[in-house]
Amino acid sequence: MSLLEIRNLHANIDGTEILRGIDLTVEPGAVHSIMGPNGSGKSTLAKVLAGDEAYEVTEGSIMLNGVDLMEMEPDERAREGVFMAFQYPVEIPGVSTKYFLRAAVNAVLKHRGKEELDAVAFLKKVKETAPTVDLDPALLDRAVNAGFSGGEKKRAEVFQMAMLDPVMCVLDETDSGLDIDALRVVANGVNALRSPERGFLVITHYQRLLDYIVPDVVHVLVDGRIARTGGKELALELEDKGYGWVESDCGSACGC
Amino acid sequence: MTTMTTFIDTLNDTAAGDSMRTAAAARFAQRGWPNRRDEAFRYLDLRPIKDIEWALHGGTAVQSPMNLDLPGTRRLVFTAGVFDEAASDALPEGVTVEHVPTTITAEDDQFSSLCMAAAETTLHVKVGEGVTLDTLHVIHETRGGDVLVAPRCVIEVASGGTLIVVESVTLESDGGTVLCTPITEIIAAPNARVELARLVDGDEGTWCCGTIAVKADNGAVVHTSTVPYGGAVCRTRLESHLCGETAHVDLRGLAVAGDSRHVETVLKVRHAAENCTSNMIFKHVLDDNATASFTGRINVDEGAQGTDAVQTSRNMLLSPTARAYSRPQLEIYADDVKCTHGSTTGRPDPAADFYLRARGIDKVTTASLLVWAFASEVLDELEPAALRVEAARRLMDMLPGGDALDPTVVAPQQPDTA
């Protein structure tokens, strides 16, 4: 059984159709990358997978390990094992990161029928995990993302991903706003999480991230559809020729 | 009319022989109950209480006291307006329960006149020069039907003295209405520091319409926090007079209200001396048909140069029928001043909701966390520190799913202490 199966997915926001029939299958252990020009629907796809209610899904299906996600609320999907690293992590003053994360970790553990972590066990896990993304644990005493630098926010996202032990990781332009050193740290954090059971959907605008997180499959999203699929060399080709190449190529080849 | 006449007669009878009380009764009689044509009462519908034949100082102990756990504080208990010596800790030096023949230093309104006419005793707290008094926990508990209670407290802190006071008011209606009109006056001498927190709880038949009046001299610092947890109506009038240079007041308020509750703050900060600062933050979380009104007036007198006043009023609406009214008012007669005011009203941030839920936290807990995140800023500054936990615990008890939150760990550390 495939890990993630997306069939004919259509979604719109405020009446504008953004996704126009996405078909995508991710096998366990695979890293897929989604690339595409601005406005092609990359972030929309990430948010729709996570269950953002701002988007209306009009057609299609999303299955995770054979379980239908479509009727699930965002929190139910997260407990099932979907994790989306936000492009713009939200600042929530007044809620401590540590508290929020322990609540999240325990919600997931409870759903999996595992024992919840007490404060001591949770801190132990934090201390083990934080160094993998070079995250200062003192940040966790602060409010969720509040006053974090751009790099800290992205590292905190990957840190949360590691803490929550998801089966399907969706990274929504995690590289945006990162300098080259931070990019390497974040990529190493992601690579450390690669495992035979876990799948990744790495959404990015630039090929650069894929030097560090090497994908098995690259998809190019154009105008709400997957216009081209290939191996990691496709990303390099795109870098060379630009998205216009895929768009025109798509136009003549498939007549869509 | 006859109810009013009878009521005035009762006030006069009980006040007989006391010129301050009879004068206050006369002021109340002259103006009568406020009505909505009066700007300060525009959002308060007083019709439910105008025709009640009030009994003065009746009532009994409450069945569900607030039970704040504040270790190291001196508890002073007033049951149905009467000092309960047996239930209280020993009065520290300088603290007396007596009748203080002073008039309120701040401007009077109908409810403060009523309180001064009806109050038979006053808790009088005098803190000597440079003295730090034990933290006082003043407990007012009244249960009854159609009862008026008028707690009165005068706090005088001499130069360099320090005092923290927590007032907890619990009202329970028993087949009628309870009206409580607490007045607390704080007179802070140069460099004195005073912290006052007033927590009010009640039910659908209780009204608390009180006043806190502050006078702050040179370099004095006064903080007040008002937290109405319950009651049909909870109105607080805050009058602050910054009369000495570099005095500072910090006025905070937080209310979480549902049903048809009404929460009201009418504040006036008068900057009468140079280089004084004032900070006002009032937050309301409103559900069902609850309403809140905030009127914040800042007066800067001629010559009060270097004034720095910051006023914030923020409302979170959880239902389409909840209403928040916010009126900032500035009156400035000096030219070198900084006065800012900001008011926001809106629903909880959907982006924050999605973020928390995308991490697996369920809908109800997320909603509670977001209310907590909005409200906690006001509780963070409460003194003594134990009150923060107690106030947070009570707040969480009111939130659906709030019992899953742990008030000792949910609050983040401030960046400057992290």
Tens-digit pLDDT profile for residues B6-60: 899 999 998 888 888 999 999 999 999 998 888 889 999 999 999 999 998 789 9
CB contact under 8 A, B411 and A96: yes
pLDDT > 70 fraction of chain A, expressed in percent and rounded: 96
Tens-digit pLDDT profile for residues B104-149: 666 789 999 999 999 988 999 999 999 999 999 999 999 999 999 9
Report the domain count for chain A. 1
Residues of chain A positioned with their CB less than 8 A from the CB of B418: 138, 141-142
| Contact of A34 with A3, CB cutoff 8 Å | no
CATH number at residue A113: 3.40.50.300
Give Cβ neighbours of residue B288 (< 8 Å, ≥ 6 apart).
Answer: B258, B259, B260, B319, B321, B322
Mean pLDDT of chain A: 92
Tens-digit pLDDT profile for residues B256-281: 999 999 999 999 999 999 999 999 99
Q: Is the pLDDT of residue A226 over 70?
A: yes
Q: Position B42: which residue type?
A: R
Residue A164 near chain B (CB below 8 Å) = yes
Structure tokens at B405: 């939150």
pLDDT at B175: 87
Q: Position A197: which residue type?
A: E
Length of chain B: 418
Averaged pLDDT, B188-210: 97
CB contact under 8 A, A119 and B409: yes
Quote the minimal CA–CA distance from B363 to chain A in Å: 7
Residue B415 near chain A (CB below 8 Å) = yes
Quote the minimal CA–CA distance from B104 to chain A in Å: 38
pLDDT at B376: 84
Quote the minimal CA–CA distance from B374 to chain A in Å: 7
Q: Is the pLDDT of residue A251 over 60?
A: no
Q: Which of A68-72, A204-208, B225-229 has the lowest mean pLDDT?
A: A204-208
pLDDT at A242: 84
Q: Which residue of A has its CA nearest to B379?
A: A94
pLDDT at B417: 38
- Distance, in Å, from the CA atom of B182 to the CA atom of B169, rounded to the nearest integer, reads 9
Quote the minimal CA–CA distance from B134 to chain A in Å: 30
Q: Is the pLDDT of residue A238 over 90?
A: no
Give Cβ neighbours of residue A125 (< 8 Å, ≥ 6 apart).
Answer: A105, A117, A163
Mean pLDDT of chain B: 92
Q: Are strands B74-79 and B82-83 parallel, antiparallel or unpaired?
A: antiparallel
Q: Is the pLDDT of residue B415 over 60?
A: no
Size of interface A-B (CB pairs under 8 A): 110
From A77, A90, A95, residue closest to B369, measured CB to CB:
A95
CB-based burial, B12-34: b 16+ in 10 Å, e otherwise: eebbeebebbbebbbbbbeeebb
Assign A252 a pLDDT band (cuts: 50, 70, 90): very low
CB atoms closer than 10 angstroms to residue A23 = 14
CB contact under 8 A, B412 and A108: no
pLDDT at A94: 86
Residues of chain B positioned with their CB less than 8 A from the CB of A98: 409
pLDDT at A108: 96
Q: Which residue of B has its CA nearest to A51?
A: B358
Residues of chain A positioned with their CB less than 8 A from the CB of B372: 94-95
| Contact of B213 with B184, CB cutoff 8 Å | yes
Tens-digit pLDDT profile for residues A101-130: 999 999 999 999 999 999 899 999 999 999
From B363, B365, B373, residue closest to A92, measured CB to CB:
B373
CB contact under 8 A, B349 and A90: yes
More confident residue, B312 or B4: B312
Tens-digit pLDDT profile for residues A159-208: 999 999 999 999 999 988 888 888 998 899 999 999 999 999 999 988 88
Helix (H) or strand (E) run with residue B165 in it: strand B162-173
Averaged pLDDT, B150-175: 96
Q: Is the pLDDT of residue B150 over 60?
A: yes
- Distance, in Å, from the CA atom of B129 to the CA atom of B191, rounded to the nearest integer, reads 10
CB contact under 8 A, A111 and B375: no
Interface probe for B, chosen from A73, A99, A117, A145 (most Cβ of B below 10 Å), is A99
Q: Is the pLDDT of residue A256 over 60?
A: no
- Distance, in Å, from the CA atom of A108 to the CA atom of A99, rounded to the nearest integer, reads 14
Q: Is the pLDDT of residue A209 over 60?
A: yes
Q: Which of B101-105, B291-295, B330-334 has the lowest mean pLDDT?
A: B101-105
Q: Is the pLDDT of residue A249 over 60?
A: no
Q: Which residue of A has its CA nearest to B354?
A: A52
Domain interval for residue A29: 4-253
- Residue carrying the six token digits 């947890």: B229
